[in-house]
Structure 1
Amino acid sequence: MDTHLSAAHWIYLAGIVVILITMALRKNIVVPAVVATLLTAWVFSGSIVTGLASIFNASLVAAHELFNIFLIIAFVTAMLGALREMGADRLMVAPFRRVMRAGTSSFVVLAIVTYVISLFFWPTPAVPLVGAVLIPVAIRAGMSPLSVGMVIAIAGQGMALSSDYIIKVAPGISATAAGVDTDGVADKALVLSLIVGLVALAITYLTQRRTWQKPSPDLLVDWENKADKLGVPISADSPGDTGSVGTPGSGRGGDAPVPVGGASGSAEVHAVTATTVLAHAESDPATTSRSLSAKAFATIVPLAYLTLIVYLLLGKFTSLVPPLQGGEAAGIVGGIAAMLLFAACLTNNKRAFLESSSTHIVDGLVFAFKAMGIVLPIAGFFFIGNGDFSAQILGMPKGTTGPALLFDLINAALSHVAPNAFLIAFTVLFVGLIAGLEGSGFSGLPLTGSLSGALGTAAGMDPSTLAAIGQMGNIWSGGGTLVAWSSLVAVAGFARVPVLTLARKCFLPVMTGLALCTVFAILVF
């Protein structure tokens, strides 16, 4: 596995180290990421022009890869804005209040629903579904937005996706590279994913419970207002705080809160206003009509998404309807949100229907980019280390294979690893974690799979076990729990919390679970 490392490799490695140190210091990492992109491209190509162009190209490639997430956030946020105008958002959560009455019950329901949907259809459609229907209920029940985001990320992007037991794309890639049976990897990955997920959820429950408050409608009002107002930072780490929404900026803990709630009395004013309106509903025909519309949409929205889930299930297990892939399902989620947005705007004001629809879409896009846009230059730096994207970022001719700087560095480091079971297993886990830094949980699977096939016999371990361990590292890291430039941006967007804060808070629970699952795999499998 000898790999010749050029100066560009060392510059890229230095960039990773600086970014990790900057994150550990809880500072903004955009500038280090951009500078590292410039220097890496400059040294690799020998041209300052290519280096400067790579700054733009890296963000452009990242935007291309992540824009589907931005659009889903925008459409669902726009839909919720239109529903909020008529009060349907509050009525929509009513059926879940019997079960999600407090923080603990909400915690359990969020975890189970997210896991089940993500296990069958991947987290891409799961996050918008949960974000549109269950997150508001959990917030009203007293959970902090940060703990909501942690539960969804751990149960969906982590526990469900790391096993990928139903669709089996990840086990298939790992097994093919390792030269072993897919079902063997899938079965072991399922067990390991449950260990990591349950440990991480338990730690999250114990550490975040102190931030929860007593159930109150005002919590939901305040959380909703955070998408509309600016300028009053609210720390997501403070006990009892409802969290903040923001971009990964330069504020406290490396995250600058952006849209946050207004003064402490705003929720009370909103609640009093709503109560007054309802009190006069009988004497005001317009208000009565609006109330009926709110009730109708409070029923239609959950039913629309429930219909999508039933359709996905039928496509998966029967031949009654054509099956949908993960990307298609996500597109349908966005399409449903758009049509419901238009219907709600038409109901709210027929004369201003066209204008209000456009306004809500713009507001949704502004919210998506204000909260998540800053991740693009960060993702661009890690994409330049991936052979699938580096050629485009470096301006190389089409059809040319770009340098795989990140994987070359990993291969070079592995040449110094001794064949010991514990050392090999944790090394494969570490390789998976590092490979996931570029934000794609699947791109490193061929590497960890091939390493598992090559090192398993020398370490006295089943290669399928090593492949499952490597799969855990890849997907828990890049799939959307540990790095802020992955699909974690979608979770943070719907929970309305800073994405870097969410990634930092998930680190200890997830890493603890990964360490325990690796020890379990060594001793049991």
Structure 2
Amino acid sequence: MDIHLSAAHWIYLAGIVVILITMALRKNIVVPAVIATLLTAWVFSGSIVTGLSSIFNASLVAAQELFNIFLIIAFITAMLGALREMGADKLMVTPFRRVMRAGTSSFITLAIVTYVISLFFWPTPAVPLVGAVLIPVAIRAGLSPLSVGMVIAIAGQGMALSSDYIIKVAPGISATAAGVDPDGVADKALVLSLITGIAALLITYVMQRRTWRKPSADLLVAWENKADKLGLPEDGPGSGAGGTGSARDGGDGRTPVPTGSGGTSATATLVAADTLTEPAPSNSLAAKIFATLVPAAYLAFIVYLLLGKFTSLVPPLQGGDAAGIVGGIAAILLFAACLTNDKRDCLESSSTHIIDGLVFAFKAMGVVLPIAGFFFIGSGDFSARVLGMGADATGPAFLFDLISAAMAHVTPSPFVLGFGVLFVGIVAGLDGSGFSGLPLTGSLAGALGPAANMDPATLAAIGQMGNIWSGGGTLVAWSSLIAVAGFARVPVLTLARKCFLPVMAGLVLSTVFAILVF
């Protein structure tokens, strides 16, 4: 089929190129995305009024499609704030200290605990919890500080966040942009994240094992006396686009500073220092009950999910039911924790925590809206709404048309396509944000998949791996990796350099698996 490319198509393509270049330069991409939206709509419609209104409409459409994600972030952040007040957050990880007796057991325990906490609550609480409770134990057991940082980054910011299987924020964004079922992207992303993460951890184990020492209290004393100044940039390139990674992963709920605000390095370091000097976790009965209740509630939910997916004992959850239940459980636990913390003012404290959660959600994710809006204008499913063409109108599919025109001149290759989308995801993550590139990789997956006879959900999952492993906090030093380095007390540039080989090897392996198996 002969596709006619208009001037608006070329403007849209130029916008994508400028955004990729801006990402590679580690600059904020919100302004290029907004300007590209304006120019594309203006040239397509021939009306400056439509162009100006498209700026608002694009963000509005993106907000309508993604607001459920904001609510989940808000409720979980609010719940964690209430748990922190009673000290239950630290009690949830304290039992694991008993099994960390030597280097190998500490390595495995750090990986498992970080992964589980990050999978259920994101790396936001995982880094301060593990940093305050488990890192000193691991150091005493003989692990080197660099090994500790690599394990936490790979298991949390990498393996758990790249699948986001429980909360499903990342799969939701990828699937929405690709026009596929979020559960399909989530299932494939889970498998790919495990392949990438396990491979990266095994390589790290082999590379770092020779640096471990015999367990000794002297190791902990030496580590605690280490100089605080680790060569972290005072105002590093934290102005990268998105701010998703650093705001969500660098803070702990008390300092939700988005990447775009600058000063991320200093913020993360202060968070690290503050958490390491906090008092011991509370031993109150309420804290102990909630430290058991919260993991048990989400574990029961996981069991229900598995039963519904693989058996007929319970009805399977449909669509966004799983994400809704995660938020609902968080809300109920929040109210119960506030009632326990302060019976007299529990209504006010509950509202305060929810407000804090919403503020944090918009600081962490709000910048995604104008970026997603630009890529939505390239999709036929959303462009009519962005361009104000009416409910029944059929909007242009700029991205699909461009890809189809390009594919008419080349022979689609699954390997070239798979690694191409992976590369785009990695480049998109160079801004230090975990999520801002997902609308791009998702849109490319939806447009390119059918042309190469590949499942768009598979391509979206591959792009998600590249974007989050890169910008979520494992490969670039100006991401939330700064917080991990702060807790482990190692230079962040060294940590990023050491993570590069294991992570890239894992990404190549998982991409090959996706192309050959999915």
Bin of the TM-score, shorter chain as denominator length: 0.5 to 0.7
Question: Is 2:115–2:160's contact at 8 Å kept on the other side of the alignment?
Answer: no
Moved more, 45-54 or 325-334: 325-334
Match of 1:456 in 2: none
Output the amino acid matched with 2:291: A
How far is the alpha carbon of 1:109 from its aligned partner? Answer: 1.7
Question: Is 2:100–2:109's contact at 8 Å kept on the other side of the alignment?
Answer: yes
2:49 maps to 1:59 = no
Structure-1 separation of matches of 2:389 and 2:317: 35
Structure-1 separation of matches of 2:27 and 2:208: 23
Match of 2:462 in 1: 476
Change (3 A) 1:263 1:109: closer
What secondary structure sits across from 2:260 in the alignment? coil
Superposed CA offset, 1:220-251 (max 9, x none): xxxxxxxxxxxx979999xxxx9556424163
2:278 maps to 1:270 = yes
Match of 1:413 in 2: 406
How far is the alpha carbon of 1:44 from its aligned partner? Answer: 0.8
Residue of 287, 293, 306 corresponding to 1:294: 287
Match of 1:20 in 2: 20
Change (3 A) 1:100 1:385: farther
Change (3 A) 1:84 1:44: same
Match of 1:104 in 2: 107
Structure-2 separation of matches of 1:427 and 1:61: 29
Match of 1:152 in 2: 160
Superposed CA offset, 1:343-400 (max 9, x none): 1111111111111111111111111111221111111111111111111111111121
What secondary structure sits across from 1:97 in the alignment? helix
Q: What's the Cα RMSD here?
A: 5.2
Match of 2:71 in 1: 71
Structure-2 separation of matches of 1:430 and 1:403: 25
Kindly tell me the number of residue pairs found equivalent between the two proteins. 437
Question: Is 1:342–1:357's contact at 8 Å kept on the other side of the alignment?
Answer: yes
Match of 2:396 in 1: 403
Structure-2 separation of matches of 1:303 and 1:68: 24
Matches within 5 A, 1:234-245: 243=250
How far is the alpha carbon of 1:97 from its aligned partner? Answer: 3.5
Structure-2 separation of matches of 1:364 and 1:267: 20
Match of 1:178 in 2: none
Output the amino acid matched with 1:322: P
Match of 1:89 in 2: 89
Match of 1:306 in 2: 299
Residue of 352, 357, 369 corresponding to 1:359: 352
Change (3 A) 1:393 1:521: closer
How far is the alpha carbon of 1:151 from its aligned partner? Answer: 2.4
What secondary structure sits across from 1:388 in the alignment? coil
How far is the alpha carbon of 1:523 from its aligned partner? Answer: 9.5
Question: Is 2:89–2:291's contact at 8 Å kept on the other side of the alignment?
Answer: yes
What secondary structure sits across from 2:284 in the alignment? helix
Moved more, 321-330 or 50-59: 321-330
Structure-2 separation of matches of 1:371 and 1:162: 13
Question: Is 2:62–2:369's contact at 8 Å kept on the other side of the alignment?
Answer: yes
Match of 2:416 in 1: 426
Output the amino acid matched with 1:371: A
Structure-2 separation of matches of 1:78 and 1:443: 32
| Structure 1, unaligned runs of 5 or more | 115-125, 164-171, 175-181, 220-231, 279-289, 454-466
Question: Is 2:162–2:193's contact at 8 Å kept on the other side of the alignment?
Answer: no
Match of 2:9 in 1: 9
Residue of 317, 322, 329 corresponding to 2:315: 322
Structure-2 separation of matches of 1:197 and 1:306: 22
Structure-1 separation of matches of 2:262 and 2:73: 23
Moved more, 142-151 or 352-361: 142-151
Matches within 5 A, 1:190-209: 198-199=198-199
Superposed CA offset, 1:113-135 (max 9, x none): 59xxxxxxxxxxx9445669866
Change (3 A) 1:310 1:356: same
Indicate the percent of aligned positions where both proteins have the same amino acid: 57
How far is the alpha carbon of 1:411 from its aligned partner? Answer: 1.2
Residue of 330, 335, 339 corresponding to 1:337: 330
What TM-score, normalized to structure 1? Answer: 0.66
Output the amino acid matched with 1:104: F
Matches within 5 A, 1:179-190: none
Change (3 A) 1:372 1:149: same
Match of 2:376 in 1: 383
Structure-2 separation of matches of 1:259 and 1:375: 21
Structure-1 separation of matches of 2:511 and 2:115: 24
Question: Is 1:107–1:151's contact at 8 Å kept on the other side of the alignment?
Answer: no
How far is the alpha carbon of 1:62 from its aligned partner? Answer: 1.2
Structure-2 separation of matches of 1:293 and 1:384: 50
Question: Is 2:384–2:396's contact at 8 Å kept on the other side of the alignment?
Answer: yes
How far is the alpha carbon of 1:416 from its aligned partner? Answer: 2.0
What TM-score, normalized to structure 2? Answer: 0.67
Change (3 A) 1:349 1:189: closer
What secondary structure sits across from 1:4 in the alignment? coil
Question: Is 1:128–1:333's contact at 8 Å kept on the other side of the alignment?
Answer: no
| Structure 2, unaligned runs of 5 or more | 136-147, 172-178, 212-218, 225-233, 241-248, 429-436, 485-491
Superposed CA offset, 1:59-115 (max 9, x none): 11111222222111111111111111111111122233345788732454268759x
Structure-2 separation of matches of 1:12 and 1:513: 33
